[in-house]
Amino acid sequence: MLELMLLTVPDCRNDSIIGERLAEVLADHPTARLVRHAVRDEADAARLRMHGSPTLLVNGVDPFAGPGTPVSFSCRIYRDESGGAGGAPSVAALRLALRRAGDLSARPGLPGAAGRAG
């Protein structure tokens, strides 16, 4: 099962954008569990491994953060497939991230924490 945590800062204008996109994508994942968490300060951002608002953790991993991406209590910019900038991952990027996470969790012999080292 997919466990998603959506991390946002209060009054994040991108919260509604990612919410709409996630609703569309999650229609294909009826057993996925989505929890929203409002991050209140830098300490909360560090504890939750937030890389800017919004951050989506899929099974505990931010699929959109590259190696060494710092923790950040700020707005976040995402690049789409054409290189454009936006405040949330595209529907296509979200679908791919959930598919990859589902593929990892479905592989026999892999522990549930696979991929959480980063």
How far apart CA 96 and CA 74 sit, in angstroms, is 25
pLDDT higher than threshold 70 for residue 82: yes
pLDDT in tens, 83-114: 999 999 999 999 999 999 987 655 544 444 33
Residues in the chain: 118
Domains located in the chain, CATH noted? 3-106 (3.40.30)
Q: Which residue has the higher pLDDT, 55 or 80?
A: 55
pLDDT for residue 80: 86
pLDDT for residue 58: 97
Work out the mean pLDDT of the chain and round it to a whole number: 88
pLDDT for residue 102: 82
72 by Cβ neighbours in 10 Å (0-12 / 13-18 / 19+) ranks as middle
